[in-house]
Chains A and B, each alone.
Chain A
Amino acid sequence: MAAYDNSRGSEVDRLKSRVNILEDSVSKLRQELRTLQAKVMSASVPMEINKPGTIEPTVKSAPIQPPVVNSAPAREPEKVIQNFYLSTPNSDGSFNNSSANPSYKEGASIYKFQNTKDNQAKFKIDEHEASVRLALAYPDKNIDPVCDASNAFDPKARKIYTVENGIAELIGDKWKVTTKARIRYES
């Protein structure tokens, strides 16, 4: 009986030691995760990357992955082109990065973004009919905060032509509009 007890005791010790090792590992992984999350938040490349010349992505259902930070020093800096779509802006003239979609979504997408350089993107009103319709349905919510119009608002407009792209900067989890897009209503 005593022998059995000894064997059980050593097993418990072994398991305790294993638990300690695992807890250490978890702690390290958490730390790494936090570091990565911090990098993600300040990353310059928030969306998937398409090399210049590639066709812009068609419909994809995969959720947006966290930004990929490419910091390889030897690599020649390349012009990053990424397209993504956003919907209603915030009333403070920003967009939520978490709402970005790599592909056009009917009924949701209003703005088309294109990354130009680190943390910066240009944007315009997407040209799909549904995007224009949605923008016009709530102009105070969907247009005013991030666009300036060069002609009178036309609720019956069939197109909204972006005369000059807006510019937005990724600060934290928001694309803060630094320059509003200039648009024109066209019937």
Chain B
Amino acid sequence: MSKIFGHTNRGGKDWFSSDAYSDKEIESIKDPEGGSGETLSPAIPSPFARIDLAKTAFRNINKTPELKAANSNGNVLAGRTDEKLVSDTLDLAEMIFNSDSLRENLRIIVWDKDAEIGKMKASSDAHRRLAETLELYLQQDKESYNFDLLRRLYILEFNHKIIGCTSPATLFFPTANDLTHAQIKLTKNDVLFDHNYVPLYEREVDFQKYVHHLFRANPLLASRMKVVSDYLDKNLAILDRKNHALYEEIKNLKPADFEINYSELDSGKAGDIVEVLGIPLRKRKKEDILGSIGESDFRINASKTLTGPTPLVLQNNFNKRLRYVNDNWDHGVEVPYADEAALEKRSLPGARIQYPYLTVSDFLEPYLIRLVYPINKEKFFDGNVNAEVGDDSKGFLLPLKKQFFDYFTPNDLLGGGPGKPSIEMTQGVAGSVRVTLRIPIMKEGESIAFERTYYQSLEHQITKPEEAANKGVVVEQQVGLTLYPFVKTNLPDIASPYRVQVIDRNVAGVFKNSDYALQFFNQRANVPIPIVNEETTGSGKPRKRTRKQAADATTQYYVLDKEFDYIYVQDTGQTDMGGVVIPKWPHFTNGNTVFTFALDFGTTNTHIEYKAGASAPKAFDITVEDMQIATLFDSVKTSEDFGGSGAIAIREFVDYEFLPEQLGGGNRFKFPTRTVSGEGKDLDLNKETNSLADFNIPFTYEKTHDGVNEIKSNLKWAKVEPGNTKRIRAYFETLLLLMRNKVLRNGGNLTETKLVWFYPSSMTNNRKDSMEGLINDLYQKYFNATNIPYGISESLAPFYYYKNTGQLPGGTFSPVVSIDIGGGTSDVVVFKSSKPILLSSFKFAANAIFGDGFYEFGATSNGLIKKYTAYYENLLSANKQYDLMKVLDSIKDKNKSEDIIAFLFSLEKNYRIRDANMFSFNAILADDNDYKIIFLYFYSAIIYHVAQLMKTKLPDTELPKNIVFSGTGSKILSIITRNQRTLSEFSELIFAAVFEKDFGTEDLVIKAEKDIPKELTCKGGLMTDPEDLNINIKKIKAILTGLKDESITRLRYVDLTNEVQTEITDYVADFNRMFLDLDKKMSFSDNFGVSYSALEIFKDGLNRHLRDYLAEGLEYTKKMDEVRSDEKEIEETLFFYPIIGAINNLSKQLGELTPVNS
């Protein structure tokens, strides 16, 4: 079979003449692959072959109707190779157009014709020959390829590989190399240099406009690059059909606008512009692409106002057709789970545009911190935990990064609903948790789901999370958090005092070195609120109050003076990790109810009563409805053993060092409470301190042993020194905060709140003024009140309780004596016609019997202590009250009798004690016939003094008709006798002895409230208008000197000569004589059960050392009151000083008389 070679159709069977192929011949050559081949023949003998190929490809493609590979009547109009070349050329042009997005990967290398050829010529022979060859071709083909206008070529390098070059014939031409390494996306889903060849009219609109505009503005290009110009014309014609609007837009492009619409393109050096045929190429303006992204559906629908470009929110496997940049989202685009680049430096995935976008790791933490208890869902947002597997016994800190709150507020998460973010946590197998955070985007109703699965960490080491692979790690930490108060007013004009307790109970395992730091943020600004009590400036952390080394947990207290909406809890101990806590603040309304509080700051106990509006006074309480603290753990759902973690410190330390959830009613803790302050064992009082941080009111005192609090008692009469001043301030601040939050939690009117407080009449002016100043300051600070607190003598109020509860039979016309026996002081007021007419106060109260006399630490020698401590230790042990034994132990360590005795008295009301009678110290003392004489003597001394007072100071007044008692010390009455009538008769005898006349038919009535003696003062204060009680007591205050010369009503220390002191002790001896005479009139033994042997000892020792006791008393008082000048007036009677000494001494002897168990 013969073969005809050539395509001129002139050949036969032999040699024939032939000419060079014209276009006609070339076109007539049949492509054996029918145009489907994609590789080009390399046999083109020119260094500029690719320029020609590109030009030819344009020429061929222009023949096709759709500018794609096509055949016509069996002839290939344009093959796939043409389509590819044109497409690749356009890809190059598009890359250059978007060069700002490719800055890191794209490099433009300048090849200056004259300079480079010149250099080659000056180089080796080989280079010279190459230069000459190039020159030859440049000269020879100058008309075909516009080499005459060629000055420079710009070689394009992508990822360090050449991908193409500018062309004087077709703007660009690609290399024949494999370009798969440059298969990237720009702003649309089209992948450059792939096998999907895209004609210009299908490309991104901005790019299309640019190319058309380039040729429109530069006619030289159209004349010199005819194939390209034709290509553009054909594109335009197709656009006319397919996208007429764009067609019109392009048609209307004005040449003059070209420079305005696009930015200058340089080679990388400023001013070194990239040109083809002398025409500068340009590139997309940055603002244009930003404007384009500004329409993206993926923009975050933030609730906060953002500055700068709005980031897009992207997720993998998103398959909705939403607008991304210039095209719909391609679900094949891979979004990194973590992008280390700063937000503004990021490039959009699949788009090669530098623009901020957010991905999973921007909002979700690498670690998920699981807690050992369920979160209190009523008070904190729990993250919508769904227990698909496992249970809901353990909650989680929200694994949200702070950055989330740059865009959204905590309320967005709490409120939920359309257009708001939401979070969901689903527990899976083997402790894994899947967290889904939905972020709303601008497309209405749409959101992006950031989802991350957290896997359980290894037990003995912390597993490292893999953020890039979206694998988080679940770790379990034993940390508790409690807020105080659980109130947020949003009122800028009132103070916002907050305390946050952090309990770190990671005592073992991988987190034993945990170190928590909390940051607080409000809804508006996502910057931390400064904390008030930073340990060191800038540290952002307060000092630790208790440490794991010494206890079962470490505690810290954050003090803030601004409201906050979320907390970022960070553990910087072993591995940096954190989570978010969002309180669900209760709805607050500023109501109108006026609250009135009465505060009785006693030596032993402190009490608060309150009334809301016109309601009856009641003891201060915190109920389930108005809880003031919010513990992160759910106190109801958390198991007693904290899931077997041993972390019960998380619950216990709330009571120990902070504040109980509830107070009063049937709760373990209530008012009246012991007047003691708790503080950390290593508190440095030289540093700034805060209430409910460095100090607290330990309601647990005497009830449970905490082992962490350093307890300070005797606050009321404590020596004036900086430490005590701080303690007392903190004590009052806590009390006022309790009141304030009571008002706020119950819709009260803060500024209209009223406060009545009490002070003993015997308090020195200086001490009283100091207390008043403190209360007024705190009141003003926390209540912003329109009125000031009423400071009232505590002796006045109880009378009004008895009066207003109808307990004064026969009215109040006759004198009524009100005696308030506290721990440290007793106040006596004589009322007539409901008005106080005489007042006296003295430091002779319960502690005269139960205290250490004139010694600061005398518990080791106190008779009652010696007699009863061992007894109670055995009793507690026998009843397995180990914790109370620990309490007693710790109190004993302080060696203060009154504290030990107060504990013994408190036992019968302790919630742990079931048989109150067995533990009742009151009942035991009532049966102690050896000690009975002491109580009787104590009582007699007071009644005697009252009688003497009345006789001396109110000579015209008749005998009293009623004596009413109040104060904790009045419990002594029930120790003396349970028969009130007996006590009345006995009291009448004393009055009769002093007044030297009988009561006649009118019986003296003794009244005492055995169960609420302490509460009477507050109740009385609230039962009458406080203004009525605001009496200047100085006018009715009297002191009985005990001197025969009744004209001497005041004594100074300097006046206490030997004679004066002797006269005072004689006066006491007179009383003693009178007292012992009473036994003859009303047998102590028969009526009160006083033992004979005790009476003998008593009689024998009663009058001994009276002079010494007086001196001791004076010395002690001077020391306690810091009297520095003997010119100072003595503010109380000296009658009781020798009696205190005698009681203390006799008590020791009586204690040894009969062993307690016999």
Q: Which residues of A contact B (CB under 8 A)?
A: 59, 61, 63, 86-91, 95-96, 98-101, 105-110, 130, 133-134, 137-144, 148-149, 152-153, 155
Is B508 touching A144 in the complex (CB atoms < 8 A)?
A: no
The yes or no answer to B640 lying at the interface (CB within 8 A) is: yes
Given contacts A137-B707, A140-B704, A140-B883, are A107 and B646 in contact (CB under 8 A)? yes
Evaluate whether A87 and B644 lie within 8 angstroms (CB atoms) in the complex, with A99-B639, A139-B886, A140-B704 already known.
Answer: yes
- Could you tell me if A107 and B509 are in contact, using CB atoms closer than 8 angstroms? yes
Q: Which applies to chain B's interface (DSSP): helix, strand, loop or mixed?
A: loop
User: Is B641 positioned at the interface, with any CB of A under 8 Å from its CB?
Assistant: yes
Rounded to whole angstroms, the CA-CA distance of A152 and B872 in the bound complex is 12
Residues A144 and B883 in contact, CB atoms below 8 Å apart: yes
Q: In the complex, given contacts A89-B641, A105-B508, A134-B646, what are 16 additional A-B residue pairs having Cβ atoms less than 8 angstroms apart?
A: A63-B431, A87-B641, A88-B646, A90-B639, A96-B639, A96-B640, A96-B641, A99-B641, A99-B643, A105-B509, A130-B508, A137-B707, A138-B652, A140-B912, A149-B882, A155-B886
Residue of B431, B508, B641, B877 contacting most chain A CB atoms (<10 Å): B641
- Contact between A107 and B507, CB atoms less than 8 A apart: yes
Is the CB–CB distance between A106 and B648 below 8 Å? no
Q: Which residues of A contact B643 (CB under 8 A)?
A: 98-99
| CB-contacts of B618-648 with A (<8 A) | 639-648
Whether B458 lies near A61 (C-beta < 8 A) is yes
Min distance, Cβ B346 to any Cβ of chain A, angstroms = 39
User: Is B882 a contact of A98 with CB atoms below 8 Å?
Assistant: no
Which residues on the A side are within 8 Å of B551 (C-beta)? 137
**A110 and B646 within 8 A (CB):** yes
Q: How far is A130 from B640 in the complex, measured between Cα atoms in Å? A: 20
Contact indicator B644/A108 (Cβ below 8 Å): yes
Question: Which residues of chain B from 452 to 478 have any CB-CB distance to chain A below 8 Å in the complex?
Answer: 458-460
Q: Is B889 located at the chain interface by the 8 A CB criterion?
A: yes
Q: Among the interface residues A95, A140, A141, A144, which one has the most CB atoms of the partner chain B within 10 A?
A: A140
Q: A61-B459, A153-B877, A155-B705 are in contact. Are A90 and B885 (CB under 8 A)?
A: no
Q: B552 interface residue, CB < 8 Å from A?
A: yes
- Complex CA gap A63/B429 in Å reads 11
- Asked if A108 and B646 sit within 8 Å, CB to CB, the answer is yes
Report the Cα distance A133→B548, complex, angstroms: 12
Within 8 Å CB of A140, what residues of B? 704, 882-883, 912
Tell me the smallest distance from the CB of A154 to a CB of chain B, in Å.
9
B534 at the interface (CB under 8 A from A): no
Determine which residue in A63, A105, A139 has the highest number of CB atoms from chain B within 10 A of its CB, and name it.
Answer: A139
Q: Inside 8 A of B647's CB, which chain A residues have their CB?
A: 107-108
Say whether B880 faces chain A, with CB atoms less than 8 Å apart.
yes
Q: In the assembled complex, which residues on chain B have CB atoms less than 8 Å from the CB atom of A138?
A: 552, 648, 652, 883
Q: Is B1121 an interface residue (CB 8 A)?
A: no
Whether B873 is near chain A, meaning CB under 8 Å from some CB there, is yes
> Given A99-B639, A140-B704, A153–B644 Cβ distance below 8 Å?
no
Q: Which of B646, B647, B705 has the most CB of A within 10 A?
A: B646
Interface residues of B (CB under 8 A from A): 393, 431, 458-460, 507-509, 551-552, 639-649, 652, 704-705, 707, 873, 877, 880, 882-883, 885-886, 889, 912
Q: With A106-B509, A134-B552, A152-B877 given, is the CB distance from A96 to B883 under 8 Å? A: no
Contacts of A98 in B (CB 8 A): 393, 643-644
Residues on A with C-beta less than 8 A from B460 are 59, 61
Known A-B contacts A139-B882, A152-B873, A153-B886; A107 and B508 likewise in contact (beta carbons under 8 Å):
yes
Are A149 and B707 touching (Cβ within 8 A)?
Answer: no
User: Which A residues are CB-close (under 8 A) to B880?
Assistant: 144, 148-149
- State in angstroms the CA–CA spacing of A101 and B393 once bound together: 16
C-alpha spacing A98/B646, complex, angstroms: 14
Among candidates B648, B649, B889, residue contacting A155 with C-beta atoms closer than 8 Å: B889
Question: Given known contacts A140-B882, A155-B705, is B646 in contact with A109 (CB within 8 Å)?
Answer: yes
Known: A106-B508, A106-B509, A134-B552. A87 touches B883 (CB 8 A): no
Chain B residues with Cβ below 8 Å from A130 are 507-508
B495 CB → nearest A CB, Å: 36
Whole-angstrom CA separation of A86 from B458 in the bound complex: 21
Give chain A residues whose Cβ lies under 8 Å from the Cβ of B431. 63
B639: chain A residues within 8 A (beta carbon): 90, 96, 99
Q: How far is the CA of A108 from the CA of B647 in the complex (A)?
A: 7
A148 to B881, CA, bound (A): 11
B648 touches A90 (CB 8 A): no
Nearest CB of chain A from residue B781's CB, rounded to whole Å: 37
Q: How far is the CB of A101 from chain B (nearest CB, A)?
A: 6
Question: Are A153 and B885 closer than 8 Å at their CB atoms?
Answer: yes
Assess whether A101 is in contact with B652, with CB atoms less than 8 Å apart.
Answer: no
Once the chains bind, are B885 and A108 in contact (CB under 8 Å)?
Answer: no
* B contact residues around A107 at 8 Å (CB): 507-509, 645-647
Residue of B nearest to A94 (CB): B640
Taken together as a complex, chains A and B put the C-alpha atoms of A180 and B460 apart, in Å, by 34
Instruction: Check A137–B552 contact: CB distance below 8 A.
Output: yes
A91 near B640 with CB under 8 A, answer yes
5 A–B contacts, CB within 8 A, in A order: A106-B509, A130-B508, A134-B646, A149-B877, A153-B885
| Least Cβ–Cβ distance between B653 and chain A, in angstroms | 11
Closest residue of chain B to A142, judged by CB? Answer: B648
Assembled-state Cα–Cα distance A98/B171 (Å) = 76
- B641, A100: Cβ atoms under 8 Å? no
Shortest beta-carbon contacts, A-B, top 4: A99-B644, A107-B508, A140-B883, A153-B882
Nearest-neighbor residue (CB-CB) of A130 within chain B? B508
Q: Is A88 within 8 A of B640, CB to CB?
A: yes
Residue of A with least CB distance to B708 = A137
From residue B553, how far is it (CB to closest CB) to chain A in Å? 9
Q: How far is the CB of A64 from chain B (nearest CB, A)?
A: 10
Check if A88 sits within 8 Å of B883, measured CB to CB: no
Task: Give the distance to chain A from B367, nearest Cβ to Cβ, in Å.
Answer: 18
Partner of A96, one of B459, B644, B652: B644
| CB <8 Å contact, B646 and A87 | yes
| B508 adjacent to A101 (CB under 8 Å) | no
Q: Which residues of A contact B704 (CB under 8 A)?
A: 140
- State A90–B648 Cα separation when bound (angstroms): 12
In the complex, A12→B919 CA distance in Å? Answer: 80
Provide the bound-state CA to CA distance between A139 and B509, in Å: 23
Closest to A92 in B: B640
B819 to chain A, nearest CB (A): 39
Closest chain A CB from B997 CB (angstroms): 58
Residues on A with C-beta less than 8 A from B877 are 149, 152-153
For B505, the closest partner residue in chain A by CB is A107
A residues less than 8 Å from B883 (CB atoms): 138-140, 144
Closest to B703 in A: A140
- Give Cα A153 to B470, complex, Å: 53
Q: Smallest distance from the beta carbon of A83 to chain B beta carbons, Å?
A: 15
Q: How far is the CA of A99 from the CA of B458 in the complex (A)?
A: 19
Residues on B with C-beta less than 8 A from A149 are 877, 880, 882
Q: Give the docked Cα–Cα distance between A106 and B647 (Å).
A: 11
A91 to B883, CA, bound (A): 14
Q: Tell me which residues across on chain A come within 8 A of B644, comparing CB atoms.
A: 86-88, 96, 98-101, 108
Chain A nearest CB, measured from B350 CB (Å): 35
Q: Which residue of B lies closest to A99 (CB)?
A: B644
Residues of B within 8 A of A105 (CB): 508-509, 646
With known contacts A139-B883, A139-B886, A88–B459 Cβ distance under 8 A: no
Residues of A within 8 A of B885 (CB): 152-153
Q: How far is the CA of A91 from the CA of B668 in the complex (A)?
A: 15
* Chain B hits for A87, CB < 8 A: 641-642, 644-646
Q: Enumerate chain A residues within 8 angstroms of B645, measured Cβ to Cβ.
A: 87, 107-108
B648 touches A88 (CB 8 A): yes
Report the minimum CB–CB distance from A147 to chain B (whole Å): 9
Query: Once the chains bind, are A90 and B640 in contact (CB under 8 Å)?
Result: yes
Complex: chain A residue closest to B430, CB-CB? A63
Q: Which residues of B contact A143 (CB under 8 A)?
A: 882
A164 to B98, CA, bound (A): 84
Most central of B458, B552, B649 by chain A CB within 10 Å: B552
Which A residues are CB-close (under 8 A) to B648?
Answer: 88, 138, 141-142
Q: Which of A96, A105, A108, A109 has the most CB of B within 10 A?
A: A108
